[in-house]
Chains A and B, each alone.
Chain A
Amino acid sequence: MTDSLQITGAGTSLHTTPAAQRRLRRRYAAERRFKALGLFAVLFGLAMLAFLLTTIVSQGYRAFIQTHVSLEVYLDPEVIDPRGTADPRDLARADYQSLAENALYGLFPAVEASAERRALRGMLSQGAGLELRRRIQNDPELVGTTLELQLLVSGSVDQLNKGVFDLESGRRLPVSDEQIGWFRELEAQDRISAPFNWGLFTRADSREPELAGLAGALQGSLYLMIVTFVLSFPLGIGAAIYLEEFAPKNRLTDLIEVNINNLAAVPSIVFGLLGLAVFIQVFGLPRSAPLVGGMVLALMTLPTIIIATRASLKAVPPSIREAALGIGASRIQTIFHHVLPLAMPGILTGAIIGLAQALGETAPLLMVGMNAFVTSVGDSMTSPATALPTQVYMWADSPQRGFVERTSAAIMVLLGFLIVMNALAVFLRRRFERRW
């Protein structure tokens, strides 16, 4: 050692020799390599995210518009109310679809053969009749008048209008050549329009893609979040406060802590099985109900909230506790007046991130039957419902072409909610953060 020190003669430092310069260069090279790797990782991640979002959005945006055809429909009293009673039950039963079909036949008088007529009326959605019935039920005075209405076309024609089909490919399409011809004629008459698809948010699920909407799933997800929040937030925070501030530190509490951390890593489907076995089989709660789904998700979210709360409580400086205890505050006063308010931003962030995770969870909901096909918006916590992620799962499984874009659209809505919730977490943290 002394030898190597001595070779640096007078005037030269040990840190300016060529060997030292080389070592310095190597150190900088290592730093540059590491930075380049990190940058590459970030860019790669961003590229994948951009690819994913582009795919989803490029397919999903179409579901936000829906093709309509403009028809002058004669609301024939003979069909709607043949007995002239204006009884709501009669009005509900009438064959409205045929009224819309007649309006369409009127535009194409040359079409007379029954097979051709079947093809022609196939261009209208079942939603056309439903729309007519809704109008009449809202205002029975309309019977006997002629209305110009925007009516839904079938899923295939909608896809045709959106340019989804490759007409040159020669492959069999869900629309016949005659239907394409009629469609072009309607287009030429300026009868085809594609306004914003409010139905996506106001209708429940359906077998027809043009009628399928997210209202049921949105409401199901809302109920799920309410149940999950109401159960997991107070329970989780209470458990965390007890474990952190009151429980003695011994083998038992160590074991509990380890197990809570383990629970956070348990696959969600296991929680689903637990819900199926306990809530549905033992307690006899209804299947497919948001109440049960929410209870399962609450179990799943609890460990996340407990861990986040404990971490936030730990992060409150001990000087604050001492200050409160030192002037004679009791332990519970110290916690509720001083520690908890300071820990609240962290707790809220943890809770919202836990809820966001629960919002996107699919597997446990499948286990408790929340992938039911429900064509109406549920009216209570215990009526069958779906949730956004299970709706995505079901639509992705549906054969019709029209469900492809709707699947992507549902994913976009789900992502939108997740972004809103995470933004809320950030906002709350900023808003309530206090310096000490």
Chain B
Amino acid sequence: MFKEEYALMQTASPAPNTPATATAPMADVKMSARQVRVHYGDNEALHGIDVDIRRNEVLALIGPSGCGKSTFLRCLNRMNDSIEGCRVSGSVTLDGVDVYDPALDVVQIRARVGMVFQKPNPFPKSIYDNVCYGPRIHGLTRNRTELDEVVETSLRRAGLWEEVKDRLAAPGTGLSGGQQQRLCIARAIAVSPEVILMDEPCSALDPIATAHIEELIDELRRNYTIVIVTHNMQQAARVSRRTAFFHLGNLVETGDTETIFTNPGDQRTQDYITGRFG
């Protein structure tokens, strides 16, 4: 049953990827996690996660609520640092360099690994200021013209330019939910990250806005490595090349999205994607 559905979904949106090889050469690995454990106080939330994220691919993290997918996502750009009582062990590397190396600046990591959140969270400032904030604090542009260019490019890439080009001074919070989320994506790509983390970016949006964002993710795949957490399995099937299934703080299995959805190796994955729990 699910195989047919998957096939349908595949035809609905362009085939996202070239066929994946199970053993990717090391050079293709953008980020990798080894034995990542996260403790909230005395409570272990992630029990040793090993996963590779390949360059220019979309990796979907799926699993029931509370399984640790968002926690894992936030380990990748050290957003967990700001949470009181949260400890991360194991290693996360970006281009082979340990992200948690104390010598490394967390500000730099977050500039290279951008993030889009579940709820659209534009700053209560103008659309222009929202996008230009990142380049400005990182000093990426030399003058106003360059900054204008970055803002335009980012908004174009986020598919928002045509809708907002005449009201860049209007507050970002005045946009619709879907536009706000695309504004947040524009804000993230304005600092030219290498990886973009998306934490259920469509869960607060209606189907039309969701379709917009999904198309956008497909576009962005060319330039960025994307990790997306989603509760919506159709979405995972539509946008990702590979999928990782989390359950109760464990990574149950990782594989090509097609394989995970049609021929999962683990009973729990099978049960989850056929809707028996979660």
Contact = CB atoms under 8 A, between A and B. Distances in A.
A337 B123 CA distance: 10
Interface in A322-381: 322-330, 333, 337-338, 342
A363 to B, nearest CB: 41
B110 to A, nearest CB: 4
Interface stretch (B183-191, B216-224, B250-258): B183-191
Contacts of B77: 326
A326 B117 contact: yes
Interface in B77-119: 77, 79, 82, 84, 107-111, 114-117, 119
A156 to B, nearest CB: 64
A329 B137 contact: yes
Contact of A328 (B84, B110, B119, B122): B110
Interface in A289-332: 317, 319-330
A325 B82 contact: yes
A328 B191 CA distance: 9
Interface residues of A, number: 21
Contacts of A330: 107
A225 B117 CA distance: 45
B107 A328 contact: yes
Given A319-B121, A342-B124, A435-B173, A327 B133 contact: yes
Say which size band chain B's interface belongs to.
20 to 34
A249 B84 CA distance: 8
A24 to B, nearest CB: 40
A319 B133 contact: no
Given A320-B123, A337-B133, A435-B124, A326 B115 contact: yes
B138 interface: yes
Given A319-B119, A319-B121, A322-B117, A327 B134 contact: yes
A401 to B, nearest CB: 59
Contacts of A325: 79, 82, 110
B188 A327 contact: yes
Contacts of A207: none
A436 interface: yes
A325 B108 CA distance: 11
Contact of B187 (A327, A342, A436): A327
A328 B138 contact: yes
A333 B79 CA distance: 16
A434 interface: yes
B110 A326 contact: yes
B179 to A, nearest CB: 15
Contacts of A319: 117, 119, 121
A328 to B, nearest CB: 4
Contacts of A435: 124, 173
Contacts of B138: 328
B108 to A, nearest CB: 7
Nearest to A338: B123
B205 to A, nearest CB: 15
Contacts of B109: 328
A342 B173 CA distance: 14
Contacts of A323: 117, 121-123, 184, 187
A65 B122 CA distance: 58
A328 B108 contact: yes
Contacts of A324: 123, 133
Given A327-B133, A337-B133, A436 B124 contact: yes
B107 A320 contact: no
B74 to A, nearest CB: 9
A133 B140 CA distance: 72
Contacts of A328: 107-111, 134, 137-138, 191
18 contacts: A317-B121, A320-B121, A320-B124, A322-B115, A323-B117, A323-B123, A323-B187, A324-B123, A325-B79, A326-B77, A327-B115, A327-B137, A328-B110, A328-B134, A337-B137, A342-B124, A436-B124, A436-B173
Interface of B: 77, 79, 82, 84, 107-111, 114-117, 119, 121-124, 133-134, 137-138, 173, 184, 187-188, 190-191
Closest 10 CB pairs of A and B: A328-B111, A319-B121, A326-B115, A328-B110, A327-B134, A436-B124, A323-B121, A434-B124, A328-B107, A330-B107
Given A327-B114, A328-B109, 17 more contacts: A317-B121, A319-B117, A319-B119, A320-B123, A322-B79, A323-B122, A325-B79, A326-B79, A326-B188, A327-B110, A327-B188, A328-B107, A328-B134, A329-B107, A329-B137, A333-B137, A434-B124
Interface of A: 249, 317, 319-330, 333, 337-338, 342, 434-436
